[in-house]
């Protein structure tokens, strides 16, 4: 009798715990997106351009995007792990850069404009649009469903244009 009762309780409790875990992951993703987007705004306010440009040649670079937000920078966007003149700006986020909860990747694909090509799904963690400062997750609807993001309008806000 006791085993039967424990089985019933387990059958009720496990799905609820799974749903709670997915909801927590979705809320964590929303918080991460908010933090990174605020960091991008702070970087822009101090540098008059969005992070993600290589200071040497102005090419777009996901590696520079991450460094410019997690390290100290100079006025032009060169980065250093040590705060010393001229690296007086930032860091805007604590290192390491956050990981995408759907594929566990911290990498960022930067593109100059919203209409530029997106990466193949699963190849990067995040996408940044340098002309607008937009930032979002690289994930399909199915992957977002898996972590508890169900509403289409919320998915669009998280994902930008990545399908």
Per-residue pLDDT of 29-82, as tens digits, reads: 888 999 999 999 999 999 999 999 999 998 999 999 999 999 999 999 999 999
Among 142, 160, 153, smallest CA distance to 102 is for: 142
Q: What is the pTM of this model?
A: 0.80
Per-residue pLDDT of 83-106, as tens digits, reads: 999 999 999 999 999 998 888 999
pLDDT exceeds cutoff 60 at 161: no
- Yes or no: say if 67 and 78 are a contact pair by the CB < 8 Å rule: no
Paired tokens of 12: 């009720």
Paired tokens of 120: 């193949």
Domain ranges within the chain, ordered by starting residue: 2-159
Count Cα neighbours of 132 within 13 Å in the Cβ-side half-sphere. Answer: 12
């Amino acid at each position: 009798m006791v085993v039967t009762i424990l089985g019933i309780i387990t059958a009720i409790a496990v799905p609820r715990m799974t749903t709670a875990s997915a909801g927590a992951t979705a809320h964590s993703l929303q918080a991460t997106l908010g933090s990174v987007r605020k960091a991008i705004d702070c970087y822009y306010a101090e540098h008059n351009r969005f992070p993600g440009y290589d200071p040497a040649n102005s090419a777009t670079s996901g590696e520079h995007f991450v460094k410019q937000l997690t390290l100290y920078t100079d006025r032009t966007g060169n980065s250093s792990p040590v705060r010393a003149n001229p690296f007086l700006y930032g860091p805007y986020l604590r290192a390491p850069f956050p990981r995408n909860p759907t594929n566990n990747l911290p990498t960022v694909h930067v593109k100059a404009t919203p209409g530029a090509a997106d990466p193949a799904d699963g190849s990067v963690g995040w996408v940044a649009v340098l002309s607008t400062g937009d930032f979002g997750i690289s994930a399909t609807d199915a992957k977002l469903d898996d972590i508890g993001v169900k509403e289409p309008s919320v998915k669009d806000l998280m994902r930008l244009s990545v399908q």
